[in-house]
Amino acid sequence: MRSGYEQIYETLIPKLSECDFLEVGERLGLSPQPNGALSVNFLGREYEISFRGINPTDGTPVNVNNRSVLAYYTLSKGVGEPAFSYVPIYYFAGSVFSSNIKWMTDPLGKTFSEDYATFSETMGRLGGVFDGKLRSGGYSWFLKALPKIFLQIVYYEGDEEFPCEVQILFDKNASRFMEFECLAFLEGCLVRAMIMTAKTGDITGWE
């Protein structure tokens, strides 16, 4: 039986046939291919976007939510450029979530607790760029999740009082290109990619 996530993705595929891929590619920063498809790097992997759907070019398994995120991005009507100013995801949700809800990123603190070396290796494999240590004590990394959506990922080492914490912050203009629910999908994809890459040492070969 197909999961609810698989059904979500399948409802998006017919909408791709309505896209003007040349216009979409130019507006969203997706690379046109000779066969009329588009390509994009997402979390360290190359994907082909066509009227038939979203597929990783390496042919290895991928979580269906990665496909959905790229479909939503392709179908976006957003315009503009990143603000290069970063906020937590609840910034886009209004009163839906409180600032104390961190359940999506909590597993990252457990995975990388007292292991910044593995965290930094993982970020590098996923395309992250180290930006230095913050005054708050955190180690800041930047990640171009998609051509118009940049993220800041901050690693805080744990101590006797507070556990290790990893924060994911979104460019303030990310909501121009994806609604809150889609951005939450993207954050979930990143969290899973970080955990699985840390466990396997590879960005592919797992769903």
Centroid of chain to Cα 81: 17
Same domain, 136 and 90: yes
Selection from 154, 127, 158, 156 nearest residue 140 by Cα: 154
* 81 inside domain: no
pLDDT at 19: 94
* 206 inside domain: no
pLDDT at 125: 97
pLDDT at 66: 97
Answer yes or no: are the C-beta atoms of 86 and 170 closer than 8 Å: yes
Residues 6+ apart with CB under 8 A from 195: 107, 108, 111
Answer yes or no: are the C-beta atoms of 107 and 168 closer than 8 Å: no
Same domain, 30 and 118: no
* 23 inside domain: yes
Number of domains forming the structure of the chain: 2
CATH number for position 172: 3.30.310
pLDDT at 1: 59
Convert the pLDDT of each residue in 77-91 to its tens digit. Answer: 999 999 999 999 989
Answer yes or no: are the C-beta atoms of 130 and 139 closer than 8 Å: yes
What's the domain range around 181?
A: 86-200
Structural domain ending residue among the three candidates 75, 108, 129 = 75
b or e along 8-42 (b: 16 or more beta carbons within 10 Å of the residue's beta carbon)?
Answer: bbeebeeebeebebeebbebbbbeeeeeebbebeb
pLDDT at 200: 96
Same domain, 41 and 134: no
Mean pLDDT by 10 residues, the chain (207 residues): 87 95 97 96 97 95 96 97 95 67 87 96 98 95 98 92 93 96 95 97 90
Selection from 164, 144, 142 nearest residue 155 by Cα: 164
Convert the pLDDT of each residue in 112-147 to its tens digit. Answer: 998 999 999 999 999 999 999 999 999 999 999 999
- Global pTM reads 0.94
The neighbour count for residue 126, using CB atoms within 10 Å, is: 20
